[in-house]
């Protein structure tokens, strides 16, 4: 049972190179990372040969004492960025990552049935690519308090998996932060998904608070146990479901908003000292380790 950590945008705000970020995460006590295949660092992998790119990255990770355990592809939308997602899956495979989180596509002006069909056809193509390189694709809840989205509930994830014939390379990533944002009861969702869950992303937020007046204010990415999510019910649900997979810290605090955001601009407090960010990551790792220990999960150690 591994505890990995996501490379969130906060680290890049300090002007660190990718190798520098790896060193920081190692100093925080992590041995495993969740690699970010998003537009933030797209130029480093999207146009490269997967094997050459992966070889360089493996060297940097090894020098920092880290290993890749998971990858996330953000902003997935089968309507416009199909080739980018395929390239990311191939790069993840070359890196040795066996689990890649692929959020289901959603758009405000598309009917649910139409979008279900588009996701179904696209996932069929991705599964063919994943099968060639031995990668498992993980779909997850969309999660929004402002408006119900496609794949808002577990039953929609299950429906998609069943519609594709329940392939062994298609599982679920349980994103606890998205459950919190959508104010979905975690225990019932976890029990419903059962052994389809292959990874758990951990973070916290305030759910459907008035704070969520804009989409980027919904999921604040707080450390676990710092928001309103009922982590007792989360952990009990995982225990009842006999979950034996990995956990991934997907925290984004101190919160960094995009530079064009109305919450950002040139606010002096938008970026805290790097030592605070390090301490928050170390603290979050201890919280996760404690949760695993008190709920009797085996293999709560990092290695």
Q: What pLDDT sits at residue 300?
A: 43
Highest mean pLDDT among 127-131, 153-157, 220-224: 127-131
Name the more confident of 248 and 144: 248
Residue 214: pLDDT band with limits 50, 70, 90: low
Q: Does residue 303 surpass a pLDDT of 50? A: no
pTM (predicted TM-score): 0.90
Q: Which residues contact 96 (CB under 8 A, 6 or more apart)?
A: 54, 58, 68
Look at residue 125 and give its three-state secondary structure: helix
pLDDT score of 262: 60
The model's pLDDT over 68-78, given as tens digits with 9 standing for 90+, comes to 999 998 655 65
pLDDT of 29 higher than 60: yes
Report which listed range, 35-49, 180-194, 214-228, is most confident. Answer: 180-194
* Domains identified in the chain and CATH numbers: 3-294 (3.20.20.150)
Q: What is the mean pLDDT of residues 236-263?
A: 82
A 10 A CB-CB count for 277 gives 22
- For 74, 133, 158, 290, the CA distances from 127, given in Å and listed in that order, are 18, 10, 16, 36
- Choose between 263 and 127: higher pLDDT: 127
């Amino acid at each position: 049972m591994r505890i990995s950590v996501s490379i969130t945008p906060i680290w890049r705000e300090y002007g660190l190179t990718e190798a520098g970020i790896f060193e920081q995460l190692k100093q925080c006590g992590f041995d495993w990372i969740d690699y970010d295949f998003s537009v933030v660092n797209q130029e480093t992998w999207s146009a490269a040969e997967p094997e050459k790119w992966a070889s360089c990255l493996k060297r940097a990770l090894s020098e920092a004492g880290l290993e890749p355990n998971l990858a996330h592809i953000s902003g997935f939308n089968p309507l416009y960025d199909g080739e980018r997602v395929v390239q990311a899956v191939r790069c993840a495979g070359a890196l040795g990552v066996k689990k890649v989180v692929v959020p289901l596509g959603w758009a405000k002006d598309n009917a649910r049935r139409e979008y279900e069909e588009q996701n179904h056809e696209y996932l069929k193509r991705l599964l063919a690519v994943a099968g060639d390189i031995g990668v498992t694709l993980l779909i997850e809840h969309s999660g929004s308090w402002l408006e119900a989205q496609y794949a808002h509930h577990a039953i929609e994830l299950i429906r998609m998996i069943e519609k594709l014939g329940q392939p062994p390379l298609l599982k679920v990533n349980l994103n606890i932060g998205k459950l919190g944002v959508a104010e979905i009861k975690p225990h019932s969702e976890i029990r419903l998904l059962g052994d389809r869950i292959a990874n758990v992303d951990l973070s916290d937020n305030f759910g459907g608070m008035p704070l969520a007046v804009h989409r980027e204010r919904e999921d604040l990415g707080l450390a676990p146990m710092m928001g309103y999510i009922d982590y007792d019910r989360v952990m009990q649900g995982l225990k009842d479901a006999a979950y034996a997979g990995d956990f991934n810290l997907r925290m984004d605090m101190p919160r960094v908003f995009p530079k064009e955001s109305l919450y950002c601009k040139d606010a002096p407090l938008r970026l805290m000292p790097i030592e605070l960010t390090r301490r928050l990551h170390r603290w979050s790792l201890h919280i996760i380790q404690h949760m695993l220990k008190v709920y009797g999960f085996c293999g709560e150690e990092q290695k």
